[in-house]
C-alpha cells in the first residue's frame, strides 16, 4: 500500500481530528463525491476542479469515470476513489473483486465497497469476511486502500458491530457508514459505535447526509477520519448543502 493512499486523513490512518477542525482543515477529511448515475463528463470534471481548488482528500465516482478523474487530478495531490458493488452490495465477492481490480488498474487510489447486506442481517460473519477479504486482496495488490460500506440504516446495532468486526478480520482499511442511496445516512451514534468496535487504528468514514460544517465536526468528534459528501464546498464555506448524492 502506498503511504499516500493509506492515510485516513493527510496525516495517519485514523487522522488527527484535533488538527484543523475548522472549515479549511476539514477539507482534508472530505471525499468529494458524485455518484449520480446520470452524471456527465462535464459534471465529473467540475467536481475534480472543485476538489483541486478546495484541496479535498479525494474525488469519489462510479467506476466508469475513474480514468477521467485520474487524468483530471494529476499533479493536484487529490486522490481518486471509486465504488464497488454499489449501491446494493448484492453481487458475489469474486465479482466485486473483479470490479475492484479494474478500478485500481484504471487509477483508483481508494475503493469503497458495499458489503453483502443480507449476510450482515443474517449475522453470518463468515460470509461477510469472505466477501470483504476477496475485495481487500484485489485492492491491496494494487497498493490501494479499501473502505467497507456497512449500510448502517439497514442494520441493528449488533449487526453493525458484526459487520465492523468482519471488516477488521478481512483486512479492510476503513469502515464506512452508508451509500447514501438506501435510507438514512451517517449518524453520530453510528460513527461512535463503529469507532469503538474497530479501535483506534482503522479509518471510519461518515457518509450520507453530512451537509454542513457542524455535521462534519460532529462526525469527526465521534471518531470519523473521513467524510463522504457531495456538499463539500458548502461544508468548508460554513453553509448548508443539499441532500443530493
Query: What is the pLDDT tens value at each position of the chain, 245 positions in all?
Result: 433 334 443 333 334 333 445 666 999 999 999 999 999 999 999 999 999 999 999 999 999 999 999 999 999 999 999 999 999 999 999 999 999 999 999 999 999 999 999 999 999 999 999 999 999 999 999 999 999 999 999 999 999 999 999 999 999 999 999 999 988 899 999 999 999 999 999 999 999 999 999 999 999 999 999 999 999 999 999 887 765 45
Q: Is residue 176 annotated as a catalytic residue, yes or no?
A: yes
Degrees, nearest 5: CA angle 62-67-71: 125
From 57, 131, 205, 215, active-site residue: 205
Q: How far apart are CA 111 and CA 133, in angstroms?
A: 13
* Angle between helix 157-170 and 188-198 (nearest 10): 40
User: Annotated catalytic, 133?
Assistant: no
CATH topology for 23-236 is TIM Barrel (3.20.20)
> Catalytic residue among 31, 57, 96, 112, which?
112
Contact 172, 202 (CB under 8 A): yes
Maximum pairwise Cα distance, the chain: 45
158 is annotated as an active-site residue: no
Supply the DSSP string of 18-48, one letter for each residue.
TS--SHHHHGGGEEEEE--TT--HHHHHHHH
* Virtual torsion, Cα 156, 160, 166, 172, nearest 10 deg: 150
Closest CA to 236 of 214, 206, 207: 214
Amino acid at each position: 500500500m502506498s503511504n499516500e493512499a493509506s492515510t485516513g486523513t493527510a496525516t495517519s490512518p485514523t487522522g488527527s481530528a484535533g488538527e484543523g477542525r475548522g472549515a479549511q482543515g476539514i477539507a482534508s477529511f472530505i471525499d468529494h463525491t458524485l455518484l449520480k448515475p446520470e452524471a456527465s463528463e462535464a459534471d465529473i470534471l467540475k467536481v475534480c476542479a472543485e476538489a483541486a481548488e478546495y484541496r479535498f482528500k479525494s474525488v469519489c465516482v462510479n467506476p466508469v469515470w475513474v480514468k477521467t478523474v485520474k487524468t483530471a487530478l494529476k499533479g493536484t495531490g487529490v486522490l481518486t476513489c471509486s465504488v464497488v458493488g454499489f449501491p446494493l452490495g448484492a453481487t458475489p465477492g469474486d465479482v466485486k473483486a473483479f470490479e475492484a481490480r479494474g478500478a485500481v488498474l484504471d487509477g483508483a487510489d481508494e475503493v469503497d465497497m458495499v458489503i453483502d447486506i443480507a449476510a450482515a442481517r443474517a449475522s453470518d460473519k463468515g460470509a461477510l469476511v469472505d466477501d470483504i477479504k476477496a475485495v481487500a486482496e484485489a485492492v491491496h495488490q494494487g497498493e490501494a486502500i479499501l473502505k467497507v460500506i456497512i449500510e448502517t440504516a439497514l442494520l441493528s446495532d449488533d449487526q453493525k458491530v458484526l459487520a465492523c468486526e468482519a471488516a477488521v478480520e478481512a483486512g479492510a482499511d476503513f469502515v464506512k457508514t452508508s451509500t447514501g442511496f438506501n435510507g438514512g445516512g451517517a449518524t453520530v451514534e453510528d460513527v461512535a459505535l463503529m469507532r469503538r468496535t474497530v479501535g483506534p487504528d482503522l479509518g471510519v468514514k461518515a457518509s450520507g447526509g453530512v451537509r454542513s460544517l457542524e455535521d462534519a465536526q460532529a462526525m469527526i468528534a465521534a471518531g470519523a477520519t473521513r467524510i463522504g459528501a457531495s456538499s463539500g464546498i458548502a461544508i468548508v464555506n460554513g453553509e448548508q448543502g443539499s441532500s443530493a448524492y
